[in-house]
Amino acid sequence: MTTPTLPATPDQFVPTFAENFNTGDLDRAVAAYAHDAVLNLGGGQVFAGRDAIRAPLANFLAPGLPIAVSPLSTTVSGDYAFVTFDWTITGSDPAGNPVALAGRASEVLRREPVGWRQLLDLPFSAATDAA
């Protein structure tokens, strides 16, 4: 698996996430998740584990557009952190179709020996149904 850039501290998560996403490298983006991570897209779309997260993450990367991020808050408790940020992906996909995605993400990170990884990912946290 491709080695992602992992943040050394939770405060570095948001720019590091954008860096990994903006490479367009699906393997790198998936490797930034903990092996037991969960991605909740709302509407009952919940994906557990890196293998399951791969396909929905590929959909976010498919247009080949960069993500812009704005950090909002970071709260740390031992080996876990809660991070929120706003994000947007706008432009046109390779076929010329307009793309306009945005959300307020809520993330739970876990410290691992190599850095902080995403454990719980709710990219549309304000609109995400309970799982």
pLDDT tens sequence across 51-88: 999 999 999 999 999 999 999 999 999 999 999 999 99
Q: Helix count (H) and strand count (E) of the chain? A: 3, 6
> pTM of the prediction?
0.89
pLDDT at position 129 over 60: no
Q: Set out the domains of the chain in order of their start, with CATH numbers.
A: 10-111 (3.10.450.50)
The DSSP code for 113 is T
Between residues 102 and 4, which one has the greater pLDDT?
102
Residue 126 pLDDT class (50, 70, 90 cuts): low
* Average pLDDT of the residues of the chain: 92
Mean pLDDT value across residues 14-39: 95
**Percent of the chain clearing pLDDT 90 (strictly above):** 87
Residue 2 pLDDT class (50, 70, 90 cuts): low
Query: What pLDDT is stored for residue 3 in this prediction?
Result: 74
CA distances from residue 76 to 8, 67, 110 in whole angstroms, order as listed: 13, 25, 10
Between residues 129 and 89, which one has the greater pLDDT?
89
